[in-house]
Amino acid sequence: MPVPRILVTGFGPFPGAPVNPTQRLVEALRGEPPAGAFRAELLAVDYLAVGPRLGEIGRAFSPDIAIHFGLATGCTGFRLERVARNSLAGAPPDANGALPSATAICPGPGTIASRLPLEAIAQALAFAGLPVEWSDDAGAYLCNMTMTLSLAHACEGFSPPVSGFVHVPLTREAGGGPMTDADLLAGARIIIEACRDGWRG
């Protein structure tokens, strides 16, 4: 049975979030990666850099599944994003203080549905006792931009057949709570396995 190549991404710090738990997640997954073809990569909170970086990753690894993680300080669990919006309207400054120069993220439809097996992910997380939320708005920041670029295959060399976005809260170690870094890592591993099982199915 073919083994899918799985990519997980997270982000570094950005204004208002000096510690990003998704950066810690990427580091933890690099230290103890899941079995099979797997990569964990950090994306800069930079409107100009994220697209070219996805292209580089795609040309080097060619993922079949891309699971993008990002921080949303207002959520309390794993927030499964159903829809990406192809818009930068109202976008706040990135980590460099820059604003995007366009209103559309890329050519294509105004909205794109996630291709992750969201129902299976939600059931697996709930079974493990981890909190789950649903969302139809991935925001106006780099999280939504990354989700849109990934789903639209808008970066040369980056075209995962399965991709989507999951927001997570500040962990206890990052100044939030009650979710811990260990909970975040456990949930990420569950999400990875659910996506792998969906691919096989």
Q: What is the pLDDT of residue 101?
A: 85
Structural domain boundaries, residue 104: 6-200
Q: Is 114 a domain residue?
A: yes
The values of phi and psi at residue 10, to 5°, are: -140, 180
Instruction: Give me the amino acid identity at 152.
Output: A
Domain count, the chain: 1
Of 68, 143, 155, 195, which one is the catalytic site residue? Answer: 143
Instruction: Tell me whether residue 167 is one of the annotated catalytic residues.
Output: yes
Catalytic residue among 68, 133, 155, 167: 167
Helix, strand, or coil (residue 65): strand
Beta bridge partners of 158: 155
- Residue 185: Cβ within 10 Å count: 18
- Residue whose C-alpha is closest to residue 100's, from 62, 169, 149: 149
In-domain check, residue 137: yes
Domain membership of residue 58 (yes or no) is: yes
Structural domain includes residue 67: yes
Distance CA 188, CA 26 (A): 10
The phi-psi region of residue 157 (left if phi > 0; otherwise alpha if psi is between -120 and 50; otherwise beta) is left
* pLDDT in the model for residue 60: 98
Q: Is residue 89 included in any domain, yes or no?
A: yes
Among the options 41, 68, 81, 195, which is catalytic? 81
The token pair that represents 163 in the structure block: 């991709």
Residues 6+ apart with CB under 8 A from 129: none
In a domain, 33, yes or no: yes
Closest CA to 192 of 5, 15, 14, 56: 5
Q: What is the value of pTM for the model shown?
A: 0.97
How far is it, in rounded angstroms, from Cα 55 to Cα 67?
A: 15
- 32 is an active site residue: no
3-state secondary structure of 198: helix
Residue 85's H or E segment, with its range, is strand 83-85
How far is residue 92's CA from residue 2's CA, in Å, rounded to a whole number?
A: 41
Q: Quick check: is 1 in a domain?
A: no
Instruction: Please check whether residue 148 is in contact with residue 124, taking contact to mean a CB–CB distance below 8 angstroms.
Output: no
Check if 143 is active-site. Answer: yes
Rounded-to-10 torsion of CA 34, 39, 42, 48: -150
Give the CA distances from residue 191 to residues 6, 15, 87, 158, 181, in Å, rounded to whole numbers and listed in that order.
Answer: 11, 28, 27, 21, 15
CATH at residue 185: 3.40.630.20
- 201 residues of the chain, pLDDT tens digit each: 678 999 999 999 999 889 999 999 999 999 999 999 999 999 999 999 999 999 999 999 999 999 999 999 899 999 999 999 999 999 999 999 999 988 999 999 999 999 999 999 999 999 999 999 999 999 999 999 999 999 999 999 999 999 999 999 999 998 998 999 999 999 999 999 999 999 988
